[in-house]
Amino acid sequence: MSRQENNNASAWEREYREPTFLTMGTEPINAVKDFVKWMRKQVRKNPADFSAPVSEWNILDLGCGNGKNLKYIVENYAKSGIGYDVSETAIAAARGLVDGLKLNYEVRSIANIFPTRDSSIDLALDVTSSNSLTNSEREKFLAEVSRVLKPGSYFFTRALCKDGDANAKNLIKQFPGSEPDTYILGETGITERVFSKQDFEGVYAPYFEIVHLEKLWGYQKWGDRTYKRNYWIAYLKSKKSAS
């Protein structure tokens, strides 16, 4: 690991061990539920566009945390799932939720090459995980997601949105990170990257077709205070064609 990657890994491990803003609930986020409903409609409308029925899909969750989103999809729709997270504590919690499902969790940084075969994944998830990567790590990450996805498959992404988020802009001014539009979250040492719409499209469009992009908001607790946060919810489609 690079020094920054190692610092981020240590910071996330501390956060999972003694959470200051993370919640370890077991319910998937609503945006993932909505995305799965949308995906099922796409499969019903255009079954020939997908290489396998949903019940045979293999899902990859990148930065899976305690596995709640991956478990939901595999438990209700898909065949199997793989989850990577840099935190040993998060992976231990995820393994505790397996409950007989075909789920495999590994302690692994998403900043590195994935031990996953080319074109072997039917659906990938990034639920506000790659926001802690550096720009160069993110480029490698997106190339890897593109590599492992089957042609025409989808990549769900929730990223942090800069547009209209006064708190994020204030954090950039007060606690700037080493790269543009990044900040360091207080005593945690965790770096986060926020995106304007233009920036998001510029980073992701070279790798994926942006099928759906919307801004949503939610609330996050930090100590005894609650902050409003803006997110980009993106449905991205692999640009690869079947050989």
Cα gap 90→47, rounded to integer Å: 35
Amino acid, single-letter form, for residue 17:
R
Within a domain: residue 181? no
Asked whether residue 57 is domain-assigned, the answer is: yes
Place of tokens 């990170």: 177
**Contacts of residue 222, Cβ cutoff 8 Å, sequence gap at least 6:** 20, 21, 186
Q: Is 182 domain-assigned? A: no
Task: Look at 129 and 222; give whichever has higher pLDDT.
Answer: 129
At 150 the pLDDT is 96
Does residue 169 lie within any of the structural domains? no
**Whole-angstrom distance, CA of residue 132 vs CA of residue 193:** 6
CA-wise closest residue to 57 among 41, 69, 38, 43: 43
Task: State which residues form the domain around 45.
Answer: 3-162+196-238
- DSSP letter for each residue of 43-74: HHH-GGGSSS-GGG-EEEEET-TTSHHHHHHH
Tokens of 33: 């539920």
Per DSSP, 189 falls in state: T
Percent of the chain exceeding pLDDT 70 equals 95
In a domain, 46, yes or no: yes
Count CB-CB contacts under 10 A for residue 56: 12
Residues 159, 241: Cα–Cα separation, whole Å: 26
Give the ranges where 78-153 is alpha helix by DSSP (H).
Answer: 88-95, 135-148
Count of Cβ atoms closer than 10 Å to residue 153 Cβ: 24
Q: Is the pLDDT of residue 222 over 70?
A: no
Q: How many domains does the chain have?
A: 1
Inside any domain, residue 174? no
Q: Is the pLDDT of residue 27 over 80?
A: yes
Residue 76 lies in a domain: yes
Residues 6+ away with beta carbon under 8 Å from 134:
4, 111, 178, 179
Helix (H, G, I), strand (E, B) or coil at 52: coil
The structure tokens listed for 60 are 């990859």
pLDDT at 5: 62
Beta strands, E only, the chain: 58-62, 80-85, 103-107, 121-127, 149-161, 182-185, 190-195, 208-222, 225-238
Domain membership of residue 105 (yes or no) is yes
Per residue in 101-126, pLDDT tens?
Answer: 999 999 999 999 999 999 999 999 99
| Per-residue pLDDT tens digits for 60-92 | 999 999 999 999 999 999 999 999 999 999 999
Q: CATH no. for residue 26? A: 3.40.50.150
Q: Take residue 44 and report the two structure tokens written for it.
A: 């019903």
pLDDT over 60 at 243, yes or no:
no
